[in-house]
Chain A
Amino acid sequence: MAAVTAGSGAGSGAGGSPEATGGSTGGGGWRRPHGPLQRYYGPSTAEAAEAAPDPTDIDGPHFDPEVFMNKVRSECPLGQLLAREAALGREIRALDSDMQTLLYENYNKFISATDTIRKMKVDFRHMEAEMDDLAANMAAISASSARVSAALQDRHRRGAQLAGVQALLRKLQALVEVPGRLRRWAGTEPARALRCHARARAVLRHYRHLPSFRAIEDESHAIMADLAQRLRTHLRCETLDPKELTECVEMLLQLEEPPEELSEEFLSQAGTRLEAELAALEAELPAADPSGTATTPPPPASDILDFVDRGSSAFVGTLCQLAGSYRALFGGDTGRLEPFAAALATRYFELLERRLALERGLGDTSLLVRALDRFHRRLRALLELLPAGADAAAALVARAARERVDRYLRALQTFFLGCLGDVRQALAAPRPPGKEGPGLPDLLATLAASVLGQLKAVLAYVQLFTARDVAFASLPYFKGEFCVTAVREGLVVAFVRWLCHTARGFADGPAERGAPAAPPALLLLLARLCLDYENSTISYILTLTDEQFPPQDSGPAVTPGPALCGEARAAAQRLLDHYVQVQGAAVAQMLRKSVETRDWLGTVEPRNVRAVMKRVVEDITAIDVQVGQLFEEGVRRAQSSDSSRRAFSVYSSSRAPGRYAPSYTPSAPMDTHLLSNIQKLFSERIDIFSPVEFNKVSVLTGIIKISLKTLLECVRLRTLGRFGLQQVQVDGHYLQLYLWRFASDERVVQGLLDEVAASAAHRCLDPVPMEHSVVELICERG
């Protein structure tokens, strides 16, 4: 379409060159005749309508020859006009010939259609005549058939009479044959014999006054008695499946045997059968060890789900089936059935319990839950029969669940111990130089996260027990008591308690009797862990547990969170105290050895701070770093920089002269004694091994107190020469320079060091203290 318009556009618009026009008209002329046809058939009408009506478009529907002629005439030069005319003439001729061809083709078709119609008209006429013939014949047929049936009616009646007689005869024949048949089937198909007998019996009884029938009846009776006898022996035979058993008993019942006797027989048979199944189940269990658990039993061959599956499908299925058929056979009298079933069910429970006891490992809880669930579901059918068994079954399931929870608790404990072991190892592992090992915070975070994760995982497992699609979860036990007693108390609370206890164990246990003591860093770590538990984790865990296992309002009392927090806090406190004691003892030991092994009388004039003091400062700095990784800074009582410290000592000048007197001014020893006594009246008593707070400063203060008190006591045990005193003076000053910043109250450090100096002066043969400036110089150089 687009090509056509383009062609016509070119034809009209490109006036200048005839060659070009000729070329274009040649292309367009060949296609143009199809244009109107296409337009007629195709969807082009819509498109054409869209274009603006162009009266000069020779192919357009609005073509106006006048306008076109006028336009051409007015616009085109003569040469072009001529060329146009010739082109149009050619086009018209081509169109004419096309039209003729089309006309001709269509005309042929029209003629052949006319022929066909004409032929049809002739055929129809012929058919009409034949239909008339058919109607006449049908009428004749019906008439003759009526006649035939009228003729045969009488014969038919007689035939029917004869058939009745024959049937009667056949029945008689059957009756006569009854004994024979019975005899034949009694051997092979007792059921069929019975059916046959039952059919015949009524008739025989009815006609027993006729001698021939009586004979038949007697004979069949004899046969049936024989059959009953044989069925009984069959019944006693061992290998009957429940269906056969039921059939057998049913037949005997039909033979009008006494039901009492039969029911007994039935139960005993069923009993053997069920016993056999129980025995099969039992065979899967390892032999019960009466002497206790001498050896660990080998892992059971099949998993618990399989076992329960088989148990329920075999045993419970059979039991149900038998009980059902008993009811069907002997009516509602279940007086005998119930104790029977109860005894068996009890045995079954016992077996299952033993099997459950074998589930020692953690295995797959979902498997266990599914097994228990299946057990419970299967049992429900049985329970309708045996209401007493319901409690036993529920108790069994509850016990199993409880057992599993206990086992999880133990697994959690093992896991925690494992984690601790890892941490210990990480702490103990030698660190390659230049490469820092994992920091304490990392270890703490890992430990806390993994323990919490494990706890959550366990909770998730345990939650399977109360999942909605598990049948027994709707038992009242699982709704209330299980959540509270087993999970919350038995698992979560017990775990937290145990954790605190274990942590305390590190503080209480190893210090005695030289057992391998826990590394101090571990103590610190655990202290922080317990503190974190107190602060947040316990409440988080409890909330989580309460969410997952909503407690019943009327449930048993639960351990409140604060009580647990208190325990955790106490454990943390104990651990931290122990940490302080251990670290303090380490530093103290160093100081003690250094004081005890030195010859204080014969020492030379001090030139340096003793190496051990540097070591003490280093150690305390290291402890400071270690503690700082896990605990907050804490509050100092007198925040002071080096410069303000001097101001402080001026401020407390009422005390200072006395304090410094023994070491810096040579005065009479008795005087200093008196002075220091007076001082002590004013200064607070210092508790050396006192509980610390949960912050860095308090911990460090505790350690420093222990160390300095040790130094004091050791110095008091020695006798010093002049230079010994001076050495102590130097060491004391050095310690004061470096330690005050760690302590919460620098007065504590100062007080203790003053006492050290005073004691040293007292224990000195020739108390000539060093010049303060020299002391400072040595310390600064050191």
Chain B
Amino acid sequence: ARALTPQTAETDAIRFLVGTQSLRYDNQIHIIDFDDENNIINKNVLLHQVGEIWHISTSPADKGVLSTCYNKTSDTKVMTCAAVWRMPKELESGSHESPDDSSSNTQTLQLLCHLDNTAHGNMACVMWEPMGDGKKIISLADNNILLWDLQESSSQAVLSSSAALEGKGQLKFTSGRWSPHHNCTQIATANDTTVRGWDTRSMRQIYCIENAHGQLVRDLDFNPNKQYYLASCGDDCKVKFWDTRNVTEPVKTLEEHSHWVWNVRYNHSHDQLILTGSSDSRVILSNMVSISSEPFGHMVDDDELSDQEDQHQEEKIKEPLQDSVIATYEEHEDSVYAVEWSSADPWLFASLSYDGRLVINRVPRALKYHILL
């Protein structure tokens, strides 16, 4: 299984959606609920019969709406399509059924609309406009960027604009992210070793990082708090951080993984926390203080502190200056293809590996207090 996403619109419960990949059985979307207090995982299964799921994303506005990219296999052809779905009402907010029931009680997704890609080729991913009202999505299909407007309560998708990447050879987008900054007018895409930025209003390229990685770029993410900062990862085992105003040199490079890095994610609220998943079966949580929006050391009201505490504080201030790997998680036995932070709890994240194992982890408590206090 490769597809994992948090339920973006949900801010109370910790909930992830996982799409399965199976060629010979009906595919499913598993809704994973994690009860933080009782440490219980709850699972609901939705059938997704059209094909194996390669990418999944949820609407930021409506809890029940999600989109998938899936493979439609005929005898001699594989076609990746995308569609927007609505899940049954009772599952939207996570009904706490017992696990026994959920396995028997499988429900089906309700199709809202297809994103028609017959003219554009295989869909690589679908992105929802962040902070938006769930009306705009962008999909990447082969070498095209397609901007869709969802109309009539998402039952119809109208292609509002598109752009194509021209160049020699077969160009194919591998992934993209929609920037939450600049009023959501920018997206970034990756194809081969290049990272490109686009303006969604004009559908023009605004920047281009040539040879961002030595080999294929696998994933991107925007810093949620610093508008020009972008993280990318790829087959050269590196994670790089870019300032899109200066694309000649990365701001920072991490080389902690020993194989391709498939996924990189900024924590939504504390952008020094970086999560990466790699096909060396490891998930690494790094603390990149030096390039985060967090000021170096906390501003402390000196007046309120006694001298002794003051000294204590100073020691603390020095500490966070170092970028470091916080933890390496080796629970997975196979390649990790997806990592995601929970949208509800900023200290929680999930990772998904090829063999279908989903692991939910917390940021170490000590670090959490260190950041908070």
A interface list, Cβ under 8 A from B: 511-514, 585, 589, 592, 599, 601-602, 669, 673, 676-677, 680-681, 685, 687-690, 709, 713, 716, 719, 721, 762-765
> Most chain-B CB neighbours within 10 Å: which of A669, A690, A719?
A719
A43 to B78, CA, bound (A): 132
Q: How far is the CB of B219 from chain A (nearest CB, A)?
A: 14
- Which residues from A are CB-within-8-Å of B77? 601-602
Instruction: Report which of B73, B214, B237 forms a contact with A765, defined as CB distance below 8 A.
Output: B73
- Which residues from B are CB-within-8-Å of A688? 258-259, 280
Residue of chain A at shortest CB distance from B211: A514
B249 at the A interface (CB under 8 A)? yes
- The answer to whether B237 touches A585 (Cβ under 8 A) is no
- The answer to whether A669 touches B258 (Cβ under 8 A) is no
Chain A to chain B contacts (Cβ below 8 Å), 27 pairs: A513-B211, A513-B248, A514-B210, A585-B214, A585-B215, A585-B236, A592-B216, A599-B76, A601-B73, A601-B75, A601-B77, A669-B22, A669-B24, A673-B356, A676-B355, A677-B355, A681-B333, A688-B258, A688-B280, A689-B280, A709-B259, A709-B279, A713-B279, A716-B335, A716-B354, A719-B23, A721-B76
Q: How far is the CB of B10 from chain A (nearest CB, A)?
A: 30
- Which residues from A are CB-within-8-Å of B248? 513
- The answer to whether B78 touches A601 (Cβ under 8 A) is yes
Closest A-B pairs by Cβ, 6 of them:
A514-B211, A602-B76, A688-B259, A680-B333, A689-B258, A719-B78
Residue of chain A at shortest CB distance from B337: A716
Instruction: Report which of A677, A685, A690, A719 forms a contact with B73, defined as CB distance below 8 A.
Output: A719
- Which residues from B are CB-within-8-Å of A713? 260, 279, 335
Known contacts A511-B236, A602-B77, A689-B258; 13 further A-B pairs (Cβ under 8 A): A512-B250, A514-B211, A592-B216, A601-B75, A602-B76, A669-B22, A669-B24, A677-B355, A688-B259, A719-B78, A763-B23, A764-B23, A765-B23
- Which residues from A are CB-within-8-Å of B355? 673, 676-677
- Which residues from B are CB-within-8-Å of A689? 237, 257-259, 280
A601 to B73, CA, bound (A): 9
- Which residues from B are CB-within-8-Å of A669? 22, 24
Instruction: Report which of A589, A685, A716, A765 forms a contact with B24, defined as CB distance below 8 A.
Output: A765
Q: How far is the CB of A102 from chain B (nearest CB, A)?
A: 126
A762 to B24, CA, bound (A): 9
- Which residues from A are CB-within-8-Å of B335? 713, 716
Instruction: Report which of A511, A681, A709, A719 forms a contact with B214, defined as CB distance below 8 A.
Output: A511
Residue of chain B at shortest CB distance from A762: B23
- Which residues from B are CB-within-8-Å of A709? 259, 279
B281 at the A interface (CB under 8 A)? yes
Residue of chain A at shortest CB distance from B279: A713
- Which residues from B are CB-within-8-Å of A602? 76-77
B294 at the A interface (CB under 8 A)? no
Residue of chain B at shortest CB distance from A706: B259
Q: How far is the CB of B162 from chain A (nearest CB, A)?
A: 24
Within 8 A of A (CB), among B323-373: 330, 333-335, 354-356
A690 to B257, CA, bound (A): 10
A689 to B281, CA, bound (A): 13
- Which residues from B are CB-within-8-Å of A681? 333
Interface size class of B (residues with CB under 8 A): 20 to 34
Residue of chain A at shortest CB distance from B335: A713
Residue of chain B at shortest CB distance from A680: B333
- Which residues from A are CB-within-8-Å of B236? 511, 585
- Which residues from B are CB-within-8-Å of A719? 23, 71, 73, 78
Q: How far is the CB of A510 from chain B (nearest CB, A)?
A: 10
A687 to B77, CA, bound (A): 35
Residue of chain A at shortest CB distance from B54: A717
Q: How far is the CB of A674 from chain B (nearest CB, A)?
A: 9
Q: How far is the CB of A512 from chain B (nearest CB, A)?
A: 8
Q: How far is the CB of B235 from chain A (nearest CB, A)?
A: 8
Q: Contacts A585-B214, A673-B355 hold; do A601 and B76 have CB atoms under 8 A apart?
A: yes
Residue of chain B at shortest CB distance from A763: B23
- Which residues from B are CB-within-8-Å of A589? 215
Residue of chain B at shortest CB distance from A688: B259
Residue of chain A at shortest CB distance from B71: A719
Within 8 A of A (CB), among B238-261: 248-250, 257-260
A716 to B279, CA, bound (A): 12
A677 to B354, CA, bound (A): 11
Within 8 A of A (CB), among B182-213: 210-211
- Which residues from A are CB-within-8-Å of B257? 689
A514 to B260, CA, bound (A): 19
- Which residues from A are CB-within-8-Å of B356? 673
- The answer to whether B280 touches A677 (Cβ under 8 A) is no
Q: How far is the CB of A581 from chain B (nearest CB, A)?
A: 8
A696 to B281, CA, bound (A): 27
Within 8 A of A (CB), among B65-90: 71, 73, 75-78
- Which residues from A are CB-within-8-Å of B214? 511-512, 585
* Residue interface bits B252-288, CB-to-A below 8 A is 1, else 0: 0000011110000000000000000001110000000
A628 to B31, CA, bound (A): 54
Q: How far is the CB of A713 from chain B (nearest CB, A)?
A: 6
A738 to B71, CA, bound (A): 35
Residue of chain A at shortest CB distance from B75: A601
> Most chain-A CB neighbours within 10 Å: which of B216, B237, B355, B356?
B355
A589 to B213, CA, bound (A): 14
- Which residues from B are CB-within-8-Å of A721? 76
Residue of chain A at shortest CB distance from B52: A719
- Which residues from B are CB-within-8-Å of A676? 355
Residue of chain A at shortest CB distance from B170: A597
Q: How far is the CB of A590 from chain B (nearest CB, A)?
A: 12
- The answer to whether A687 touches B260 (Cβ under 8 A) is no
A689 to B279, CA, bound (A): 11
A690 to B214, CA, bound (A): 18
A184 to B78, CA, bound (A): 130
Q: How far is the CB of B93 from chain A (nearest CB, A)?
A: 32
Q: How far is the CB of A756 from chain B (nearest CB, A)?
A: 13
Q: How far is the CB of A295 from chain B (nearest CB, A)?
A: 32
- The answer to whether B281 touches A685 (Cβ under 8 A) is yes
- Which residues from A are CB-within-8-Å of B71? 719
Q: How far is the CB of B57 from chain A (nearest CB, A)?
A: 19
- Which residues from A are CB-within-8-Å of B23? 719, 762-765
Q: Contacts A585-B215, A765-B24 hold; do A677 and B76 have CB atoms under 8 A apart?
A: no
A685 to B258, CA, bound (A): 12
A721 to B74, CA, bound (A): 11
- Which residues from A are CB-within-8-Å of B22? 669
- The answer to whether B258 touches A690 (Cβ under 8 A) is yes
A764 to B248, CA, bound (A): 42
- The answer to whether A513 touches B215 (Cβ under 8 A) is no
> Most chain-B CB neighbours within 10 Å: which of A513, A669, A680, A721?
A513
A689 to B215, CA, bound (A): 14
A222 to B327, CA, bound (A): 109
A685 to B280, CA, bound (A): 9
A589 to B249, CA, bound (A): 24
Within 8 A of A (CB), among B293-338: 330, 333-335
Residue of chain B at shortest CB distance from A510: B214
Residue of chain A at shortest CB distance from B172: A596
Q: How far is the CB of B148 from chain A (nearest CB, A)?
A: 25
Instruction: Report which of A513, A601, A687 forms a contact with B249, defined as CB distance below 8 A.
Output: A513
Q: How far is the CB of B249 from chain A (nearest CB, A)?
A: 7
A589 to B210, CA, bound (A): 18
- Which residues from B are CB-within-8-Å of A687? 258, 280
> Most chain-B CB neighbours within 10 Å: which of A673, A676, A709?
A709
Residue of chain A at shortest CB distance from B354: A716
Q: How far is the CB of B172 from chain A (nearest CB, A)?
A: 9
- Which residues from A are CB-within-8-Å of B258? 687-690
